[in-house]
Amino acid sequence: MHGWLLLLPAAVLLVTFTHYPTVATLYHSFFSTSKPGRPTAWIGLDNYRNMVEDPVFWQVLANNLWYALATIPLSIALAILMAVWVNGKIPGRGLLRLSFFTPTVLPMIAVANIWLFFYTPGYGLLEQVTGLFGLPSHNWLGSRNTALGCLVIVTVWKEAGFFMIFYLAALQSISPHLTEAASLMGAGRWYFFRRVTFPLLMPTTLFVLVNAVINSFRLVDHIVVMTKGGPDNTTALLLYYIYDVGFKFWDSGYAAALTLVLLVILAAFAMGQFLFLDRRVHYQ
């Protein structure tokens, strides 16, 4: 009894904000959206059937997978690199740490507006640099083949600093004895990193990986500012499309079905990570 009471506050929050919405979403995804003269009705799997036939859905799904495949490894690798660097004894370490972390603190909408001008053809920062090398001007956000890549860079820049903080904390908890022992044994820096540091960072990597996967499906603020999913849906991600369907087209039934797909994808990733990777992670 006592135990249940202690559990109650957390349970109430979980049910109200996690479990109930999930079940409600599932329920609503089996109904049509009410239209003038046609009240909402049970349509079974029709929303899902529409989804299979919806070319935009497949495109945003593919976009999102490419986006995840690019942002996750890049931001994690960069985070480790930065963490190892600012963990060493170098002058101006505090300032360096701060500047790596700054992107995390800045609001995404403001940041996206600045990046919009970085990518502007002609006089944008990027064009000024490429112009120095005599490269021709390129419409970075306006071309099908570079637009998504531009968004990936913004995300990596935004995320890497955040992940760096976790790696930095993990690095500082690694005992200095190990470093001393390794140098006595004559291990090189790369060998030491590969065989000692990196395995010890694995719990952090797992945590960061889970976060990175979630973020790659969750971060859409910059799309609203920078491309609005264009040109021709090449930068639309799943969550952005759900917003479009739910709050621009007001097709709540279809939006519920799409949301459920997002949920299943994320749940599958999280399960896979915890069940499969967890066994291979070495906890101290």
Partner 1 sequence: MSVTRIARVTAVFLVVFLAGGAMPAAAQAPVELTFYYPVAVGGPVTKIIDGLAADFQKENPGIKVKPIYAGTYQETIVKVLTALKSGEPPQMSVLLSTDMFTLIDEDAIIPFDEAATSAEDKAWMKSFFPAFMLNSQTGGKTWGIPFQRSTIVLYWNKEAFKEAGLDPNRPPASWAEQAEYARKLTRRDASGNVTQWGLKVPSSGFPYWLFQGFTTQNDVLLMNPAGTETYYDKPAVIEALQYWVDLSQKHKVMPTGIIEWGTTPKDFFERQTAMMWTTTGNLTNVKNNAKFDFGVAMLPAGKRRGSPTGGGNFHIFKKSTPAQQVASLKFIKWISSPARAAQWGIDTGYVAVRPDAWETPVMKQYVAGFPAAAVARDQLQYAVAELSTHDNQRVTKALNDGLQAALTAAKTPEQAMKDAQREAERILRPYRR
- Between 10 and 132, name the residue whose CB sits nearer to partner 1: 132
Q: Which of 193, 218, 215, 195 is nearest to 83 (CA)?
A: 193
Least Å distance, CB 232 to partner 1, is 4
Amino acid identity at 111: V
Q: Of 284, 276, 268, 264, nearest to 48 (Cα)?
A: 264
Examine residue 27 and tell whether it contacts partner 1 (CB under 8 A). no
Hey, how many other C-beta atoms are within 10 angstroms of the C-beta on 175? 10
Interface residue with partner 1, options 101, 230, 263, 277 (CB under 8 A): 230
Residue 13 CB, shortest distance to partner 1, in Å, is: 22
**Residue closer to partner 1 (CB basis): 159 or 251:** 251
Q: Please, which of residues 242-281 interact with partner 1 by CB under 8 A?
A: 244, 247-251
- By CB under 8 A, residue 37 contacts partner 1: yes
Binding mask 88-117 for partner 1 (x = CB under 8 A): ----------------------------xx
Given 39, 122, 176, 186, the residue binding partner 1 (CB under 8 A): 122
Nearest in space to 87 (alpha carbons), one of 166, 160, 2, 25: 166
Residue 169 identity (one-letter amino acid): A
Of the ranges 72-80, 85-93, 132-140, 150-158, which one interacts with partner 1 (CB under 8 A)?
A: 132-140
Q: Are 223 and 242 in contact (CB under 8 A)?
A: no
CA dist 244 and 251 (Å) reads 9
The residue range among 15-23, 137-145, 198-206, 265-273 that interacts with partner 1, by the rule CB under 8 A, is 137-145
Please choose, out of 70-78, 168-176, 188-196, 241-249, the segment that lies near partner 1 by the rule CB under 8 A. 241-249
Work out which of 22, 104, 139, 273 binds partner 1, going by CB under 8 A: 139
What is the C-alpha separation between 61 and 64, in angstroms, rounded?
Answer: 5
Spatial neighbors of 59 by CB under 8 A, at least 6 apart, are 233, 234, 236
What would the two tokens of residue 274 be? 């915890």
**Spatial distance between the Cα atoms of 261 and 60, rounded to a whole number of angstroms:** 12
Which residues here bind partner 1, judged by CB under 8 A?
Answer: 35-38, 56, 116-117, 120-123, 134, 136-137, 139, 141-144, 227-228, 230-233, 244, 247-251
